[in-house]
Amino acid sequence: MNRQALIIDCDPGVDDAVALMLAFGASELDLLAVTTVGGNVPQVKTTRNARMLRQIADREDVPVHAGADRPLRRKPAGAGEFHGAEGLGFMAPFAPAKGVADGHGVDALINAVNAREPGTVALAVLGPMTNLALALRREPMLAKRLGPVAVMGGARREGGNITASAEFNVWADPEAADEVMRSGLPVTLFGLDATHQVRATDARIAAVADLRTPMADTAAAMMRFSQQVEREIVGGDAPPVHDLCPVAWLLRPDLFDLAPCRIQVETASELTRGHTAVEFRAGVAGSQPHRWAVSADANGVFDLIMDKTR
Binding footprint of Ca ion on the chain (CB under 5 A)? 11, 13, 16, 126-127, 243
- Per partner kind, with CB cut-offs from 5 to 8 A, the member of Ca ion, ligand RIB, none near residue 161 is ligand RIB
Q: What's the angle, vertex CA 189, arms to CA 188 and CA 192, rounded to 5?
A: 150
161 touching ligand RIB, by CB under 6 A: yes
Contacts of 63 (CB under 8 A, 6+ apart): 33, 34, 101, 108
Query: Which DSSP letter does residue 268 get?
Result: S
Contact (CB, 8 A) for 147 and 186? yes
Q: Which is nearer to ligand RIB, 63 or 246 (CB)?
A: 246
Span interacting with ligand RIB, options 7-15, 245-253, 259-267, 276-284, rule CB under 6 A: 7-15
Site string for ligand RIB, 45-84 (x = CB under 6 A): ----------------------------------x-----
Q: Which of 35, 131, 169, 197 binds ligand RIB (CB under 6 A)?
A: 169
Site string for ligand RIB, 114-133 (x = CB under 6 A): ------------xx------
H runs (alpha helix) in 42-164: 43-56, 80-83, 105-114, 130-138, 142-145
How many residues bind ligand RIB (CB under 6 A)? The answer is 16
Contacts of 86 (CB under 8 A, 6+ apart): 41, 45, 49, 92, 93
Q: Is 242 a catalytic residue?
A: yes
Contact (CB, 8 A) for 37 and 50? no
- Please, what is the minimum distance in Å from the beta carbon of residue 55 to Ca ion? 20
Q: What distance lies between CA 198 and its chain's CA centroid?
A: 14
Q: Which is nearer to ligand RIB, 38 or 96 (CB)?
A: 38
Distance CA 5, CA 29 (A): 6
Q: Just list the catalytic residues.
A: 242
For ligand RIB, the binding residues (CB under 6 A) are 11, 13, 15-16, 39-40, 79, 126-127, 152, 161, 167-169, 242-243
